[in-house]
């Protein structure tokens, strides 16, 4: 099997551009250390002439690969034989038009759509990526897996690892992950190592451990994981009757999603399956705003792959010098050294992207609104609506444009943040429970 097959891996650094067989497991280019992409020889792959042809698969849902919201689109992530493909029914998500949340954000009725990735088996978008990455892991014969995580990756890795019989070790920052996520990882049987440090420390450690022990790495450095996450965009297009929205709004943490979404649209355009590429807004939390700082203040750009490394190095050196550790109530995106930074810059270039940071207060208020009028989400996901509201005020996003916000995780992932917001009356939309004596008349007096 050589690079003449359907798929291959390619370094994103144009001065390197090394290519590798897709049946090898790397998480960085062995030649130059940059990120790797999964790439395809599209002329060897039979692709539907129109995206709407994928709809036929709905009629064949007893086949698990047609039921999967990832593998239903398998021609667009064609890197492994069906016999290796892993699925536990991921990607059965809802794209909900929501006028009440739209009103909060200043968007016209009929224009705002919420993509509920919290409806995945482990409760977050990560399952899209894991279906693809664990398929690759099986293809290369991996027996042990590992990841660093702010919580959702670990929950998803643990679930998929036990489904396919791989051992799994997850690295988390001690006290840095939400309880729902921690409970999932340990319940699903992951060996959980709590490091006295933050996510960035865990990310560094896990790479070294994987190299030393030959474990299969499932963080979004893994190019095949991002292939699975492309399907979130296919499903948004599907939910819009095979039309492309004007804007995608996504939270930014380790920047895997934004990178995958940019790649998805680039490929669809290249294949003639869409006529235009939507714009993308990536939303950081102000306590973890590396991307915002680098793009908006330091003017870091993709520059055809020749990214100015000195800007990044200087920024990280300054973070280290002041002993910086990121802090936000949106613990999922509490990351200061995002590993997919360069791929994200490429996505910004592809999608004419914008980047903003929102405060914890803005995140929590937006989250309460998504809970009250929608199906709810975890804090990081609510950064999308908070960011959208600001971008509408700024006039960057038009109130009558068609906007899809990716709600990345389920509300039960982080019950503490929710209960504190309401019980401690932390925000404008707090809805605290009322204490009542055990007395019918007193209880009736309280009911509005």
Q: Give the footprint of ligand F0G on this chain (CB under 6 A).
A: 124, 149-153, 220, 251-257, 332-333, 378, 380-381, 408-409
Neighbouring residues of 345: CB distance < 8 A, sequence distance ≥ 6: 295, 300, 301, 302, 307
Neighbouring residues of 141: CB distance < 8 A, sequence distance ≥ 6: none
Determine the Cα–Cα distance for residues 391 and 98; give it in Å rounded to an integer.
18
In the bound state with ligand F0G, the residue whose beta carbon lies nearer, of 245 and 251, is 251
In the bound state with ligand F0G, the residue whose beta carbon lies nearer, of 101 and 170, is 170
Classify residue 395 by burial, with Cβ atoms within 10 Å: 0-12, 13-18, 19+.
exposed
The least distance separating ligand F0G from the CB of residue 425, rounded to whole angstroms, comes to 25
The least distance separating ligand F0G from the CB of residue 445, rounded to whole angstroms, comes to 41
Q: List the one residue out of 163, 361, 321, 343 whose CA is nearest residue 252.
A: 343
Determine the Cα–Cα distance for residues 99 and 112; give it in Å rounded to an integer.
7
DSSP state of 432: -
Position of minimal CB gap to ligand F0G: 253
φ, ψ (nearest 5 deg) of residue 248? -110, 135
Q: Is 125 left (phi over 0), alpha (psi -120 to 50) or beta?
A: alpha
Cα 182 to the center of its chain, rounded Å: 18
In the bound state with ligand F0G, the residue whose beta carbon lies nearer, of 104 and 199, is 199
In the bound state with ligand F0G, the residue whose beta carbon lies nearer, of 39 and 122, is 122
Determine the Cα–Cα distance for residues 80 and 141; give it in Å rounded to an integer.
13
Determine the Cα–Cα distance for residues 343 and 25; give it in Å rounded to an integer.
19
At 255, list the tokens: 């920047």
In the bound state with ligand F0G, the residue whose beta carbon lies nearer, of 142 and 221, is 221
Q: Which helix (H) or strand (E) holds 441?
A: helix 440-446
Determine the Cα–Cα distance for residues 93 and 185; give it in Å rounded to an integer.
22
Neighbouring residues of 258: CB distance < 8 A, sequence distance ≥ 6: 250, 252, 280, 282, 340, 344, 347, 348, 353
In the bound state with ligand F0G, the residue whose beta carbon lies nearer, of 112 and 232, is 232
The least distance separating ligand F0G from the CB of residue 31, rounded to whole angstroms, comes to 26
In the bound state with ligand F0G, the residue whose beta carbon lies nearer, of 102 and 250, is 250
The least distance separating ligand F0G from the CB of residue 254, rounded to whole angstroms, comes to 3
At 21, list the tokens: 């067989």
Q: What Rg do the C-alpha atoms of the chain give, in angstroms?
A: 21
The least distance separating ligand F0G from the CB of residue 276, rounded to whole angstroms, comes to 24
Contact 231, 238 (CB under 8 A): no
In the bound state with ligand F0G, the residue whose beta carbon lies nearer, of 72 and 343, is 343
The least distance separating ligand F0G from the CB of residue 123, rounded to whole angstroms, comes to 9
The least distance separating ligand F0G from the CB of residue 90, rounded to whole angstroms, comes to 15
In the bound state with ligand F0G, the residue whose beta carbon lies nearer, of 39 and 149, is 149
Alpha helices in 355-425, H assignment, sequence order: 360-373, 379-394, 415-423
The least distance separating ligand F0G from the CB of residue 16, rounded to whole angstroms, comes to 24
At 107, list the tokens: 């968007």
The least distance separating ligand F0G from the CB of residue 332, rounded to whole angstroms, comes to 3
In the bound state with ligand F0G, the residue whose beta carbon lies nearer, of 86 and 333, is 333
The least distance separating ligand F0G from the CB of residue 17, rounded to whole angstroms, comes to 25
């Amino acid at each position: 099997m050589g690079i003449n097959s359907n798929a291959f891996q390619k370094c994103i650094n144009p001065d390197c551009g090394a290519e590798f067989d897709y049946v090898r497991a790397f998480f960085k280019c062995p030649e130059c250390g940059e990120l790797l992409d999964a790439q395809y020889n599209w002329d060897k792959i039979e692709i539907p002439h129109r995206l709407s042809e994928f709809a036929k698969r709905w009629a064949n849902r007893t086949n698990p690969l047609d039921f999967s919201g990832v593998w239903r689109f398998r021609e667009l992530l064609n890197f492994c034989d069906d016999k290796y493909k892993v699925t536990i029914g991921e990607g059965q998500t809802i794209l909900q038009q929501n006028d009440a949340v739209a009103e909060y954000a200043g968007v016209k009725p009929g224009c705002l759509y919420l993509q509920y990735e919290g409806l995945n088996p482990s409760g977050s978008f990560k399952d899209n990526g894991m279906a693809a990455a664990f398929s690759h892991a099986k293809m290369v014969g991996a027996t042990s897996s590992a990841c660093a995580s702010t919580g959702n990756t670990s929950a998803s890795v643990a679930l998929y690892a036990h489904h396919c019989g791989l051992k799994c070790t997850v690295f988390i920052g001690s006290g840095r992950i939400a309880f729902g996520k921690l409970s999932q990882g340990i319940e699903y049987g992951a060996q959980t190592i709590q490091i006295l440090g933050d996510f960035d420390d865990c990310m560094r450690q896990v790479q070294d451990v994987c190299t030393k022990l030959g474990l299969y790495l499932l963080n979004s450095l893994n190019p095949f994981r991002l292939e699975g996450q492309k399907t979130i965009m296919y499903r948004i297009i599907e939910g819009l009757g095979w039309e492309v929205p004007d804007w995608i709004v996504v939270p930014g943490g380790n920047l895997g999603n934004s990178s995958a979404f940019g790649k998805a649209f680039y490929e669809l355009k290249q294949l003639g399956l869409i006529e235009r590429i939507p714009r993308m807004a990536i939303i950081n939390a102000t306590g973890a705003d590396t991307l915002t700082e680098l793009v908006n203040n330091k003017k870091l750009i993709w520059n055809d792959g020749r990214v100015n490394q000195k800007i990044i190095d200087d920024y990280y050196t300054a973070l280290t010098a002041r002993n910086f550790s990121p802090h936000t109530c949106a613990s999922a995106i509490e990351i200061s050294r995002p590993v997919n930074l360069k791929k994200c810059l490429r996505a910004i270039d592809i999608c004419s992207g914008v980047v903003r940071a929102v405060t914890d207060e803005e995140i929590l208020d937006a989250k309460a609104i998504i809970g009250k009028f929608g199906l709810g989400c975890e804090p990081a996901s609510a950064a999308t609506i908070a960011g959208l509201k600001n971008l509408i005020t700024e006039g960057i996003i038009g109130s009558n444009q068609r906007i899809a916000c990716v709600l990345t995780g389920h509300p039960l992932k982080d019950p503490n943040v929710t209960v504190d917001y309401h019980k401690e009356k932390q925000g404008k939309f707090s809805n605290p429970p009322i204490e009542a004596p055990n007395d019918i008349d007193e209880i009736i007096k309280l009911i509005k």
